């Protein structure tokens, strides 16, 4: 079984625990490889399919529309039908849509496919966080979440060289088919290795029995709004680097597609390390007696300080130094992200974590939509530098929300 009562997995020395986290890690990598493939070849497709930077921002915007819709729907669906079947449904759908990208003929078709991709891919995080909440104790969750969430950085690291190599060998259309097929392989592995739906978890830190909460009840909770507003402000910072880094390197730094393939993976390698380090740090504080929410906030403050390195990144003359500073920014962000995702498991019962994570993901996607449209306009009419400045300002606001709306370490009993 994927989970049994009262945290069956105490650490990563358990073979079953390693298997579960490994599967979540690799599916998250595939998730990001799917979505990053378009951003890597965007400079090529702008010439082949004749669309502008503003057109590209509209395509990415439609991805966020789907992602916004999918976060709330997928989270509720996963809580209802279970993490195993929910993950199967989401991964199977987004892999199929990725393959269909090979048939795109212009801006409209790419936009529709990105919309569908966003709906399906949104389920990865509600499902993954729910699996962690069902299987790991509070003192192990942030590291577990950091490990599986760092799969996104593996996907981002692999995307530039892998996509460029496949496009150079087969062309951009077959590339989408091959990447989509990777998700189908994962579906088969998940079906075999996690063959049963988990039993209802009984987390020992909650006094009430597990049950699903209605959306209205969740939206009346201050903790939910704190998580939603925080992710509305902070997640767009990651989306900027994930979707726009190749365009920035091309337009502002004069990189060729080959140079992007050789170097654009470097910041995302640091992002992967940040997720592991941030999760490990807060879990270590908890094991030493620090209250969970206080431990998460402590690491998030450190991460936010690192994220300010984006301010000098666009000003330095050296492209190598700019990439180094961007690497520090995304390292700080992923250490932050491991802990903001873990806060949902600290406040809510595992049987409600899918919906809560979905709601905060919805807010994050809305923030991503707004910021993506703003980025397209700012880049075309002002410069990339204005976007780096806006990202730093949003970091300050997100940090203020953590201490203003989530001041108390209080578990929510619904």
Asked if residue 372 is part of any domain, the answer here is yes
Q: Does 204 fall in a domain?
A: no
Q: Is residue 1 part of a domain?
A: no
In which element (H, E) is residue 127 found?
Answer: helix 124-135
CATH classification at residue 328: 1.20.1250.20
Residue 9, phi-psi category: left (phi > 0), alpha (psi -120 to 50), beta (remainder): beta
Q: How many domains, in total, are found in the chain?
A: 1
Which sign does the torsion angle of CA 171, 176, 181, 183 carry? positive
Task: Specify if 7 maps to a domain.
Answer: no
Residues 6+ apart with CB under 8 A from 224: 218, 356, 359, 360
Q: How far is C-alpha 59 from the geometric centre of its chain's CA atoms? A: 19
Q: Burial, 188: exposed, middle or buried (Cβ in 10 Å; 0-12, 13-18, 19+)?
A: exposed
Round to whole Å and give the CA distance between 115 and 379. Answer: 23
Distance CA 95, CA 141 (A): 28
Per-residue pLDDT of the chain (414 residues; tens, 9 = 90+): 343 333 444 444 456 667 888 899 999 999 988 888 888 888 788 778 877 777 887 888 888 788 888 877 887 788 788 878 888 999 999 999 999 998 888 888 888 999 999 999 988 888 888 888 777 777 777 788 878 888 887 887 788 788 888 988 888 889 999 999 999 999 998 888 775 655 544 444 444 444 555 667 777 788 888 888 888 988 888 888 877 787 778 877 777 777 777 777 788 888 878 888 888 888 889 888 888 888 888 898 888 888 888 888 887 878 888 888 889 988 999 888 888 888 887 887 777 777 788 888 888 888 887 887 788 788 777 878 888 888 888 888 888 888 787 665 455 555
Q: Is residue 2 part of a domain?
A: no
b/e 270-279 (16+ beta carbons within 10 angstroms → b): bbbbbbbbbb
| Residue 189 maps to a domain | yes
Q: What angle do CA 127, 411, 335 make, to 5 degrees?
A: 55
**How far apart (Å, rounded) are the C-alpha atoms in residues 351 and 131?**
10
The number of C-alpha atoms within 13 Å of 385 and in the hemisphere containing its C-beta is 8
Tokens of 199: 């039993």
Indicate whether 40 belongs to any domain: yes
**Residue 326 within any structural domain of the chain:** yes
Query: Sign (positive/negative) of CA torsion 388, 299, 145, 370?
Result: negative
Q: Which domain holds residue 325?
A: 15-196+212-404
Q: Which two tokens stand for residue 31?
A: 């998730």
């Amino acid at each position: 079984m994927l989970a049994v009562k009262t945290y069956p997995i105490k650490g990563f020395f358990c073979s079953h625990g390693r298997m579960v986290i490994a599967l979540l890690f690799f599916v998250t990598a595939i998730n990001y490889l799917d979505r990053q493939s378009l951003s890597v070849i965007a400079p090529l497709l702008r010439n082949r399919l004749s669309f502008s930077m503003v057109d590209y921002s509209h395509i990415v915007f439609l991805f966020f529309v789907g992602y916004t819709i999918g976060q709330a729907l997928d989270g509720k669906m996963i809580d209802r039908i279970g993490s195993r079947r929910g993950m199967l449904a989401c991964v199977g759908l987004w892999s199929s849509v990725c393959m269909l990208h090979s048939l795109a003929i212009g801006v409209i078709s790419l936009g529709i496919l990105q919309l569908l991709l966003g709906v399906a891919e949104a389920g990865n995080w509600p499902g993954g966080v729910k699996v962690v909440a069902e299987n790991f104790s509070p003192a192990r969750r942030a590291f577990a979440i950091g490990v599986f969430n760092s799969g996104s950085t593996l996907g981002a690291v692999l995307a530039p060289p892998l996509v460029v190599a496949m496009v150079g060998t087969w062309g951009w259309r077959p590339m989408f088919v091959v990447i989509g097929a990777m998700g189908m392989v994962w579906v088969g592995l998940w079906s075999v290795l996690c063959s049963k739906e988990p039993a209802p978890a009984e987390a020992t830190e909650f006094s009430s029995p597990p049950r699903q909460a209605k959306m209205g009840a969740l939206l009346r909770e201050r903790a939910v709004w704190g998580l939603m507003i925080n992710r509305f402000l902070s997640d767009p910072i990651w989306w900027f680097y994930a979707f726009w880094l190749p365009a920035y390197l091309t337009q502002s730094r004069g990189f060729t597609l080959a140079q992007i393939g050789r170097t654009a993976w470097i910041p995302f390698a640091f992002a992967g390390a940040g997720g592991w380090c941030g999760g490990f740090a807060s879990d270590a504080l908890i094991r030493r007696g620090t209250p969970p929410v206080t431990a998460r906030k402590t690491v998030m403050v450190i991460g936010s300080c690192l994220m300010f390195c984006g301010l000098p990144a666009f000003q330095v003359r050296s492209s190598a130094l700019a990439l180094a500073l961007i690497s520090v920014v995304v390292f700080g962000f992923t250490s932050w992200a491991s802990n903001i995702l873990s806060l949902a498991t600290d406040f809510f019962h595992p049987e409600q974590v899918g919906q809560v994570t979905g709601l905060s993901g919805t807010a994050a996607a809305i923030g991503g939509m707004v910021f993506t449209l703003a980025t397209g306009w700012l880049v075309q009419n002002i410069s990339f530098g204005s976007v780096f400045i806006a990202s730093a300002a949003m970091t300050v606001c997100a940090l203020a929300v953590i201490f203003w709306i989530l001041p108390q370490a209080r578990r929510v009993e619904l």
